[in-house]
């Protein structure tokens, strides 16, 4: 009996002992950073070594992957009070607002404003806006800047220059309008038998981002936001026209087979192997294509416009951001490290090693090739995280599945518009 | 039994306690917590707004949810019929093959051992129209006229159901084979002496004695198939609601921080499966009593 009780005591004590071990980290002087960015592990470790050389402070980057697991870990750590000094959040701004309201994230505004806002002004405003909550925001979060962007991501069309040349098209002149895009893609399909367009539309966010870019180009950002606010219905003829773009692409036979079941990795692989002339992808693809096909001759270009009435806006903003744990004992050190990490030399190193766009201005000279060309497009960014309101996630689901159904020939744009509006009117349960 | 002293009772309880504790913490508590969450609009992080049964009302109006039930039901129908009948037929064939039986068991059990994600990705590579491994094989053997896009909208659900059957077939085969091998050979021999035909032996001996195993296979198939997820995700991603199954919707809502809604959907799915499973058991008992 005594042995049994001893055994039970040990079994019950083990979890507490183990959880105690986990909290050891925060007691140390070193700065602990959690992230999910597999491709940047080596560069982050190099930056940590460099920082130690320069300041004597130890920084440890801890990688948790895949992103879904990372997200769960961060939520669990927040609820158990074991967040590291610096961490990132994957997800919508709403998720970030929940963390802020629960006082898990430090408001960085005072640090940003130091020295006549020198840190704040060093960033591209579009990158910083993703982490900024304006006064009287819909999330009921106190006004301020809560995160530090470490890079910028934008989503644009991408084309294969060699395929253009083979098809007799000018490789330095990508299409500017939707009509041009369709005719180029059709010509390539007809002359070379290569798919006109490929993208990971099995992942809803890609098809949604493209629809948003066309919607803003056609109706302007103001009307687009009014739709989210419920003032304009999705059955509005301009929305139906946006949905019709996808039908036109399908009807012109330029889309790759199975495009609606394809994940982005699959699409990136096929594009890098020259099996499609066009794709719609993010700036992260520069690194992906470099790894898959170092000799791929390609470039990005802005959305082929469907209207001249409103400017083309590019889906983009901060790619990844770091946030500081409000309860960290290393707050000041953490801020200093992020200031250092977003300084010119470190941003140049990050851009060079990871092929991502830097989050701060005046880094252009360090960029080459495709990335250098993209810098010009940073003035026209748009992103859900900088809109004053965000669409209900049930409506987003309806938009994504509706667009996929149009491409699959299952529904007309009008039917999809009506279904989306129905979901919109149903709203969230109260 | 009643003469046990409290000390003995405590000793006995201490043996059960670890299992009870683990079961309570990892099964009973999450079950009730899910129900509590389903009554809230919650992001699973820090927001918990009580909304009563609103999620349940919302789900009953949600066409996408019931469409996913139809998809799950379609895949289950194929699993219950095609998959299990084939598994039963092969189990009957292998049952008598004492020497080679083990080889078949290994061969047929390889598929269930493989990860669903792997099966889905592998089958996707084979079934895609470009580069189209299956279509290439069909062309090579002169069946080019049936080549097609196997994941196209008009085939996607059937293809998903058949791939699921291919994956799930091994489980049913092994369980049914084990059930068949528990039936005493003497019964068949006695029936043979009495002049019973193969068909008579099957319906009068095999089927009645195997009915508990068959009903278990049916219920396991039903539970497993209605909760299919990983294979469908890697094969078609449930795109355009064509092959979307209930667990995929729950998963997407959890990923989108709609935790309360996902919990309500999980509870509805669980309740439907429990009701159908009990119905199946009652039905198989009725069949057994009749035969």
Cis peptide before B131 (omega within 30 of 0): yes
Residue A12 predicted with pLDDT over 70: no
pLDDT for A5 equals: 44
Alpha helices in A57-177 (DSSP H): 67-79, 93-101, 109-122, 125-129, 161-166
Which of A95, A98, A410 is opposite residue B240, by nearest beta carbon? A410
- In-domain check, residue B39: no
For chain A, the residues whose C-beta falls within 8 A of a C-beta of chain B are: 1, 4-5, 8, 11, 68, 75, 78-79, 91-92, 94-95, 98-99, 101-102, 201-203, 256-258, 260-261, 263, 275, 393, 397-398, 401, 404-405, 407-410, 426, 428-430
Alpha helices in chain B (DSSP H): 6-23, 29-38, 54-61, 63-78, 84-95, 101-113, 116-127, 133-140, 156-180, 185-193, 198-201, 207-226, 230-235, 246-255, 259-290
Among A339, A355, A377, which residue terminates a domain?
Answer: A377
> What is the spatial distance between Cα B225 and Cα B222, in angstroms, rounded to a whole number?
5
Residue A8 predicted with pLDDT over 50: no
Q: Which residue has the higher pLDDT, A25 or A154?
A: A154
Residue A305 has what DSSP assignment?
B
Q: Which residue has the higher pLDDT, A304 or B143?
A: A304
> What is the spatial distance between Cα A220 and Cα A232, in angstroms, rounded to a whole number?
13
pLDDT in tens, A345-382: 999 999 888 888 999 988 877 787 888 888 878 888 89
B237 interaction partners in chain A (CB closer than 8 Å): 202-203, 261, 263
pLDDT-based confidence at residue B7 (cuts at 50, 70, 90): confident
- In-domain check, residue A256: yes
> What is the spatial distance between Cα B96 and Cα B177, in angstroms, rounded to a whole number?
10
Radius of gyration of chain B (CA): 24
pLDDT for A158 equals: 97
pLDDT in tens, A105-136: 999 999 999 999 999 999 998 889 989 999 88
Is the distance from CB of B156 to CB of B235 less than 8 angstroms?
Answer: no
> Average pLDDT, stretch A176-200?
95
DSSP per position, A239-291: HHHHHHHHHHHHHTT-BPTTGGG--HHHHHHHHHTT-EEEEEEETTHHHHHHH
pLDDT in tens, B160-210: 999 999 888 888 998 999 999 899 989 999 999 999 998 999 989 998 899
What is the number of other CB atoms lying within 10 angstroms of the CB of residue A11?
13
Asked whether residue A327 falls in the same domain as residue A307, the answer is no
- Closest by Cα among A189, A180, A135, A132 to A318: A132
The residues with which B49 forms a beta bridge, in sequence order, are: B41
> What is the spatial distance between Cα B270 and Cα B264, in angstroms, rounded to a whole number?
10
A197 interaction partners in chain B (CB closer than 8 Å): none
pLDDT for A389 equals: 87
pLDDT in tens, A201-243: 998 899 999 999 999 999 999 999 999 999 999 999 999 999 9
A401 interaction partners in chain B (CB closer than 8 Å): 64, 239-241, 244
| Mean predicted lDDT score pLDDT of chain A | 89
Q: How far is B3 from chain A (nearest CA, A)?
A: 19
Instruction: Please state the pTM of the whole predicted model.
Output: 0.86
Region of residue A136 (phi > 0: left; psi between -120 and 50: alpha; otherwise: beta): left
Q: SS3 for B101?
A: helix
Question: What's chain B's length in residues?
Answer: 291
pLDDT for A22 equals: 45
> What is the spatial distance between Cα B251 and Cα B272, in angstroms, rounded to a whole number?
18
User: In this structure, what token pair is assigned to residue A120?
Assistant: 């704040």
Cis peptide before A33 (omega within 30 of 0): no
* Residue A77: domain span: 22-150+319-377
B34 touches chain A (CB under 8 A): no
- CA of residue A1 relative to chain centroid, distance: 59
Is B129–A428 a contact, with Cβ atoms under 8 angstroms apart? Answer: no
> What is the spatial distance between Cα B86 and Cα B177, in angstroms, rounded to a whole number?
12
pLDDT for A276 equals: 95
Q: What is the ipTM of this complex?
A: 0.84
> What is the spatial distance between Cα A141 and Cα A200, in angstroms, rounded to a whole number?
34
- In-domain check, residue A114: yes
For an interface test with A, give the residue of B14, B46, B51 to mutate (most A CBs within 10 A).
B46
Q: What is the 3-state secondary structure (H, E, C) of B168-235?
A: HHHHHHHHHHHHHCCCCHHHHHHHHHCCCCHHHHHHHHHHHHHHHHHHHHHHHHHHHHHCCCHHHHHH
- CA of residue B110 relative to chain centroid, distance: 17
Q: Which residue of B has its CA nearest to A92?
A: B256
Q: How far is A320 from chain B (nearest CA, A)?
A: 18
The residues with which A155 forms a beta bridge, in sequence order, are: A282, A315
> What is the spatial distance between Cα A391 and Cα A387, in angstroms, rounded to a whole number?
10
- In-domain check, residue A382: no
Q: SS3 for B60?
A: helix
Asked whether residue A189 falls in the same domain as residue A266, the answer is yes
> Average pLDDT, stretch A23-51?
82
Residue A14 predicted with pLDDT over 70: no
Give the burial string for B241-251 (b: 16+ CB within 10 Å, else e). Answer: bbbbbbbbbbb
Residue B102 predicted with pLDDT over 50: yes
pLDDT-based confidence at residue B2 (cuts at 50, 70, 90): low
pLDDT in tens, A140-164: 899 999 999 999 999 999 999 999 9
> Average pLDDT, stretch A258-266?
91
CATH of the domain at B242: 1.10.3720.10
- Closest by Cα among A249, A146, A240 to A189: A249
pLDDT for A160 equals: 97
User: In this structure, what token pair is assigned to residue A391?
Assistant: 């669409």
- Closest by Cα among B63, B39, B35, B61 to B49: B39
pLDDT in tens, B20-70: 999 999 999 998 999 999 999 887 777 788 999 999 999 998 999 999 999
Q: To which H or E segment does residue A61 belong? A: strand A59-63
Q: To which H or E segment does residue A322 belong? A: strand A321-324
Asked whether residue A191 falls in the same domain as residue A260, the answer is yes
Is the distance from CB of B226 to CB of B115 less than 8 angstroms?
Answer: no
pLDDT for A292 equals: 93
Locus of tokens 């719609």: A280
pLDDT-based confidence at residue A17 (cuts at 50, 70, 90): very low
For an interface test with B, give the residue of A98, A258, A276, A406 to mutate (most B CBs within 10 A).
A258
CATH of the domain at A183: 3.40.190.10
Chain B from 110 to 169: CB within 8 A of any A CB: 124, 128-130, 149, 151, 153, 156
> Average pLDDT, stretch A68-85?
90
> What is the spatial distance between Cα A139 and Cα A188, in angstroms, rounded to a whole number?
47
* Residue B169: domain span: 61-290
pLDDT for B284 equals: 78
- Closest by Cα among A185, A235, A244 to A214: A244
List, in order, residues 6 or more apart from B132 with CB less than 8 Å away. Answer: B147
Is A397–B252 a contact, with Cβ atoms under 8 angstroms apart? Answer: yes
pLDDT for B132 equals: 79
Is the distance from CB of A182 to CB of A252 less than 8 angstroms?
Answer: yes
Q: SS3 for A217?
A: helix
Q: Work out how many CB contacts closer than 8 A connect A with B.
A: 91
- In-domain check, residue A329: yes
What is the number of other CB atoms lying within 10 angstroms of the CB of residue A273?
11
Locus of tokens 């079934």: B127
pLDDT in tens, A285-307: 998 999 999 999 999 999 999 99
pLDDT for A91 equals: 80
> What is the spatial distance between Cα B115 and Cα B120, in angstroms, rounded to a whole number?
9
The residues with which A304 forms a beta bridge, in sequence order, are: none
> What is the spatial distance between Cα A338 and Cα A360, in angstroms, rounded to a whole number?
12
pLDDT for A314 equals: 92
Q: SS3 for A317?
A: strand
pLDDT-based confidence at residue B144 (cuts at 50, 70, 90): confident
Asked whether residue A208 falls in the same domain as residue A259, the answer is yes
User: In this structure, what token pair is assigned to residue B270?
Assistant: 């669980």
- In-domain check, residue B8: no
pLDDT for A20 equals: 44
Q: To which H or E segment does residue A277 belong? A: strand A276-282
pLDDT for A430 equals: 61
Is B239–A404 a contact, with Cβ atoms under 8 angstroms apart? Answer: yes
User: In this structure, what token pair is assigned to residue B236?
Assistant: 């078609």
Task: Give percent of chain A with pLDDT exceeding 70.
Answer: 93
β pairing state of A314-318 and A381-382: parallel
In chain B, how many domains are there?
A: 1
> What is the spatial distance between Cα A416 and Cα A211, in angstroms, rounded to a whole number?
13
Locus of tokens 């809502």: B253
Asked whether residue A222 falls in the same domain as residue A370, the answer is no
Asked whether residue A97 falls in the same domain as residue A177, the answer is no
Asked whether residue A364 falls in the same domain as residue A262, the answer is no
Q: Which residue of B has its CA nearest to A79?
A: B45
- In-domain check, residue A177: yes
Asked whether residue A253 falls in the same domain as residue A339, the answer is no
Residue A9 predicted with pLDDT over 70: no
In chain A, how many domains are there?
A: 2
| Mean predicted lDDT score pLDDT of chain B | 88
Asked whether residue A252 falls in the same domain as residue A270, the answer is yes
Asked whether residue A177 falls in the same domain as residue A38, the answer is no
Taking the CA of residue A324 as centre, how many other CA atoms within 13 Å lie in the half-sphere pointing to its CB? Answer: 22
pLDDT in tens, A403-420: 999 999 999 999 999 999
């Amino acid at each position: 009996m005594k042995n049994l009780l001893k055994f039970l005591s040990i079994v019950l004590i083990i979890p507490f002992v183990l959880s105690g071990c986990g909290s050891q980290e925060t007691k140390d002087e070193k700065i602990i950073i959690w992230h999910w960015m597999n491709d940047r592990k080596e560069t982050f470790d190099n930056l940590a070594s460099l920082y130690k050389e320069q300041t004597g402070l130890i920084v440890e980057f801890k990688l948790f992957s895949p992103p879904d697991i990372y997200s769960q870990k961060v939520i669990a750590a927040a609820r158990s009070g074991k967040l590291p000094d610096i961490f990132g959040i994957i997800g919508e701004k709403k998720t970030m607002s929940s963390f802020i309201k629960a006082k898990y994230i430090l408001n960085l505004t005072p640090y940003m404003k130091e020295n006549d806002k020198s840190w704040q002004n060093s960033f591209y405003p579009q990158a910083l806006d993703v982490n900024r909550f304006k006064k009287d925001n819909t999330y009921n979060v106190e006004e301020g800047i809560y995160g530090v962007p470490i890079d910028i991501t934008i989503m644009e069309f991408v084309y294969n220059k060699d395929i253009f040349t083979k098809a007799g098209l000018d490789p330095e002149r990508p299409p500017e309008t939707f009509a041009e895009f369709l005719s180029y893609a059709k010509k390539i399909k007809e002359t070379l038998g290569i798919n006109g367009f490929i993208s990971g539309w099995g992942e809803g966010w890609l098809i949604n981002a493209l629809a948003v870019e066309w919607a803003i180009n056609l109706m302007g950002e103001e009307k687009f936001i009014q739709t989210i606010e419920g003032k304009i219905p999705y059955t509005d003829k301009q929305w139906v026209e946006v949905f019709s773009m996808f039908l036109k692409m399908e009807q012109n036979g330029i889309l790759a087979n199975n495009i609606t079941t394809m994940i982005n990795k699959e699409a990136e692989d096929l594009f890098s192997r020259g099996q499609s002339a066009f794709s719609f992808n993010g700036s992260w693809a520069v690194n992906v294509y470099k790894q898959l096909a170092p000799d791929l001759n390609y470039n990005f270009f802005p959305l082929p416009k469907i209207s001249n009435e409103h400017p083309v806006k590019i889906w983009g903003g901060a790619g990844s951001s770091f946030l500081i744990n409000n309860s960290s004992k290393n707050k000041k050190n953490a801020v200093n490290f992020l200031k250092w990490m977003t300084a010119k030399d470190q941003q140049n190193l990050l851009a060079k090693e990871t092929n991502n766009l830097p989050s701060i201005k005046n880094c252009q000279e360090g960029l080459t090739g495709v990335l250098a060309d993209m810098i010009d497009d940073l003035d026209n960014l748009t992103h859900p995280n900088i809109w004053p309101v965000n669409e209900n996630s049930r409506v987003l689901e309806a938009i994504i599945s509706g667009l996929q159904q149009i491409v699959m020939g299952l529904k007309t744009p009008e039917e999809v518009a009506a279904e989306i509006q129905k979901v919109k009117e149903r709203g969230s349960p109260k | 039994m009643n003469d046990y002293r409290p000390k003995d009772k405590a000793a006995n309880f201490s043996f059960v306690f670890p299992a009870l504790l683990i079961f309570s913490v990892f099964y009973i508590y999450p079950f009730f917590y899910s129900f509590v969450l389903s009554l809230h609009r919650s992001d699973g992080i820090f927001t918990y707004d009580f909304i009563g049964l609103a999620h349940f009302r919302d789900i009953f109006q949600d066409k996408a949810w019931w469409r996913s039930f139809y998809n799950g039901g379609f895949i289950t129908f194929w699993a219950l019929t095609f998959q299990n009948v084939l598994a039963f037929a092969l189990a009957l064939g292998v049952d008598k093959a004492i020497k080679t039986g083990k080889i078949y068991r290994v061969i047929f059990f390889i598929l269930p051992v493989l990860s669903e994600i792997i099966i889905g990705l592998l089958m996707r590579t084979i079934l895609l129209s470009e580069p189209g491994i299956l279509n290439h094989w069909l062309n090579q053997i002169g069946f080019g006229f049936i080549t097609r896009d196997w994941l196209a909208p008009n085939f996607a659900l059937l293809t998903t159901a058949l791939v699921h059957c291919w994956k799930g077939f091994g489980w049913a085969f092994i369980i049914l084979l084990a059930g068949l091998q528990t039936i005493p050979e003497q019964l068949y021999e006695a029936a043979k002496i009495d002049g019973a035909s193969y068909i008579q032996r099957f319906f009068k001996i095999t089927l009645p004695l195997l009915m508990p195993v068959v009903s278990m296979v049916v219920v396991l198939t039903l539970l497993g198939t209605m909760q299919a997820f990983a294979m469908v995700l890697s094969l078609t991603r449930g795109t355009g609601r064509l092959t979307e199954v209930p667990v995929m919707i729950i998963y997407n809502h959890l990923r989108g921080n709609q935790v309360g809604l996902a919990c309500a959907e999980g509870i509805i799915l669980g309740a439907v499966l429990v009701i159908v499973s009990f119905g199946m058991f009652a039905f198989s008992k009725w069949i057994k009593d009749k035969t």
